[in-house]
Amino acid sequence: MSQSLQNRNVVLGVTGGIAAYKSADLVRRLRDAGAEVRVVMTPAACEFVTPLTFQAVSGNPVHTSLLDEQAEAAMGHIELARWADVVLVAPATADFLAKLAQGRADDLLSTLCLATRAPLLVAPAMNSVMWENRATQDNVALLVRRGVRMLGPGVGDQACAETGYGRMLEPLELVEEVSRGFGPRVLDGVTVMITAGPTREHLDPVRFISNRSSGQMGYAMAAAARTAGADVLLVSGPVRLAVPEGVEYESVESAVEMHDAVMARIADVDIFIGVAAVADYRPVRPKPRKIKKDEARLDVSLERNPDILRDVASRPNGPFTVGFAAETHDLEANALDKLQRKRLDMIAANLVARGGLQDAVGFDASENALEVFWPGGQLSLERGPKTILAKQLVELIARQYRGQHPVRPRAVS
């Protein structure tokens, strides 16, 4: 089975029709195709199949009510609506189509359909006379005009002993239809490792040397790479940010720990992006006990940390390597020097001077502006939210990476 839905988030809405029994198999087929599936059931659907069945086949808790505090605390309906790359309602009853056409939001599934920006696909299943009814047909026409994709219904024998249009499409046909809506993504099948955040270099058990990095840019890069189809491993220093959905995460504290975590997995990585603000030095002898203020003067001796980025870039057959450079002056000269010296494939540089315009960008800010350089090229990414810049940068990285590693057409046997 092809992994046509690899890393895709599918919200499957199940409404109360007899075809709901087939939706359990549909969940399995979607997962076989690589999708992550979360099931939302209407109360009527729970009369046909139990939530437990869907929990078992999806591997995730099932959402049944808008007012379930526990479920909302774990993943609220708005979060679920954002999480979805696609919402598929299968089976969709005549009643549900009517509700959707009216834009109602009186239960979890209808609310979610209103609250999502993801494409909405519905697989109607009902008695053929109900399907042909003018009211249903008007609702369907309205929904199609609004951009809802109708999958089926198919024609044939029905559970209610009618023959005609009204059968839900078979699970495999539905998977095929869902996959068709997605074109290939720029980083499908690519493994990306990203370092993010600051490191902490301990002086004693309670004190450390660190920097102002908030981790926002690295986390935004991880989310953007994941959305672009990559398998992402995020190695992060201490930050106060939620790990993006679907991203594998390893938490570290010091530069040496970050170096070890990176090197342990680097052999399987296609693209390495060093966003972390790694401390260049660490105390030579961190004290095992809290340092007391006995002396008038305290000298701390520091030694160099390993340069993670340089070590990754210098590996034979190493990954495509991207560095970041936070500079207070001579941005271009410093960035180009780093690109060559560390033998990088690309470098994204930004100014971090305090005061004036620059105060609001760069470190510990939600906005940034980047100058990107690679051997033989350069591009300015204008000031904007880090999430937008990350998306643009990931596209640029993918383009350069694909230039070196074109996707081979699949062999035909």
Residues that bind ligand C5P (CB under 6 A): 195, 255, 274-276, 278, 280, 305, 307-309, 323-325, 338
Alpha carbon distance 301, 299 (integer Å): 6
CB of residue 353 vs ligand C5P: minimum separation in angstroms? 15
User: Angle of helix 51-58 relative to helix 20-32, nearest 10 degrees?
Assistant: 10
Q: How far apart are CA 217 and CA 394, in angstroms?
A: 12
Alpha-carbon dihedral of residues 11, 91, 58, 72, nearest 10 degrees? 50
Could you tell me how far CA 15 lies from the centroid of its own chain?
Answer: 28
**b vs e for 130-144, b when ≥16 Cβ sit within 10 Å of the residue's Cβ?**
bbeeeebeebbeebe
List the catalytic residue out of 144, 160, 264, 407: 160
Task: Look up residue 400 and give its amino acid.
Answer: Q
Residue whose C-alpha is closest to residue 349's, from 400, 275, 271:
275
The span from the first CA to the last CA of the chain, in angstroms, equals 16
Q: How far is the CB of 257 from ligand C5P (least distance, A)?
A: 12
CA distances from 198 to 171, 248, 254, 336 (A): 47, 18, 9, 23
Q: Which is nearer to ligand C5P, 153 or 274 (CB)?
A: 274
Tokens of 298: 């305290």
Which residue lies nearer to ligand C5P by CB, 64 or 195? 195
CB of 42 to ligand C5P, least distance (A): 48
Active site residue 46: no
Whole-number Å distance between alpha carbons of 373 and 338: 10
Supply the residues annotated as catalytic. Answer: 160
